[in-house]
């Protein structure tokens, strides 16, 4: 991948992380989400691969671009850590 493509994907990951974190905190599920994410963090890559397998079925219910971006984001544990940090940030602001 080119540097520009990587930067663009990282920017999209950050936007997705922000949207997910805001939605979680607005529903007052921050603590539960953090506990869940911390407990499954070692399995995120396997989970993302399962999501790839389920892509044809799930695409009927979700926006395909957002779904693909989500499972690509989960392939790297640092993105899960960024999501946890963003949830904690919004929880503290609340």
Total-model pTM: 0.86
Torsion of CA 67, 73, 25, 59, to 10 degrees: 10
Helix ranges (H only) for the chain are: 3-26, 30-40, 44-58, 64-74, 77-93
Give me the average pLDDT of each 10-residue run along the chain (94 residues). 87 94 95 94 90 86 86 91 96 90
For residue 89, what pLDDT is reported?
Answer: 96
Neighbours of 87 (CB within 10 A): 22
DSSP codes joined into one string, 48-68:
HHHHHHHHHHHTTTS-HHHHH
| pLDDT for residue 92 | 94
Q: How many distinct structural domains can be found in the chain?
A: 1
Q: What is the pLDDT of residue 1?
A: 67
pLDDT of residue 12: 94
Q: Identify the domain containing residue 57 by its residue range.
A: 3-93
């Amino acid at each position: 991948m080119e540097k520009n493509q990587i930067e663009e994907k990282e920017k999209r990951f950050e936007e997705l992380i922000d949207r997910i974190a805001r939605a979680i905190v607005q529903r007052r599920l921050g603590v539960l989400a953090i506990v869940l994410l911390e407990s499954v963090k070692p399995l995120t890559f396997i989970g993302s691969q399962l999501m790839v397998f389920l892509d044809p079925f799930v695409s009927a219910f979700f926006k395909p671009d957002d779904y693909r971006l989500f499972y690509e984001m989960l392939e790297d544990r640092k993105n899960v850590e960024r999501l946890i940090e963003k949830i904690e940030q919004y929880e503290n602001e609340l």
